[in-house]
Amino acid sequence: MKGIISLQNQVIARAQRNGQRSGEATRLKWIDLDEERRVIILNTPEKGSNPRIWKVSTRLLSMFGNLKKTNEYIFGNPDTRSIRASFCDTRKSISQKLQNPRLLRISFHTFRHWKATSLYHQTKNILLVKEFLGHASLENTLLYIQVEQAIFGLSNDDKYDVTATNDKAARASENHDSDA
């Protein structure tokens, strides 16, 4: 049991860095894990999102390898309650250790929002954020522009370049222009 809890904590950390939803993390299947390329391929995203791929650390891959394959799901049960309970226990422990009750207001999904907002702040490329989150519609992603402006403010020096990330010619031209 200790191994699965430790692995759940690793998956929670990875999901937080990758903007993954809790349901997507708990419904990971063994066929989603490509050990040779060290990636997880999310073939069944939530909310009609697009499939996504994430790199997996050697350590996490090793932890996956130590689990018994009792059924098609890595965690044995696609129910989000176990991973959420692990997240809540960790959050409560950190909140108590730091004596900061505001940390209890952070949800698993908060990390998805923070990652997307930070990515938009760094790149100002809303299409990149859309692809990163797997959103089917740009409308869902536009929220992060407002959040980013509320957190970081808006200055007259901000430059907003939006390019299609799947257009190789546009990216090549953009890279060429930045070299000049």
Which of the pair, 169 or 48, is modelled with greater confidence? 48
Give me the mean pLDDT over the 29-39 stretch.
91
Query: Backbone phi, then psi, for 172, in 5-degree steps?
Result: -65, -40
The whole-number pLDDT of residue 172 equals 42
The whole-number pLDDT of residue 51 equals 85
Q: Where are the alpha helices (DSSP H) in the chain?
A: 2-18, 22-26, 58-65, 81-98, 108-123, 126-133, 138-141, 143-152, 168-179
**Backbone region of residue 48 per phi and psi (left: phi > 0; alpha: psi in -120 to 50; beta: other values):** left
Q: pTM (2 decimals)?
A: 0.63
Closest CA relative to residue 13, chosen from 59, 68, 77, 65: 59
The whole-number pLDDT of residue 104 equals 93
Burial of 29 (0-12, 13-18, 19+ CB in 10 A): middle
Which of the pair, 156 or 30, is modelled with greater confidence? 30
99 pLDDT exceeds 90? yes
Q: To the nearest 10°, the Cα dihedral for 64, 41, 162, 122?
A: 0
59 pLDDT exceeds 90? no
12 with 87: CB under 8 angstroms? yes
Query: Which domains, and CATH codes, for the chain?
Result: 2-105 (1.10.443.10), 108-179 (no CATH)
The whole-number pLDDT of residue 66 equals 81
Which band of pLDDT confidence, cut at 50, 70 and 90, is reported for residue 11? low
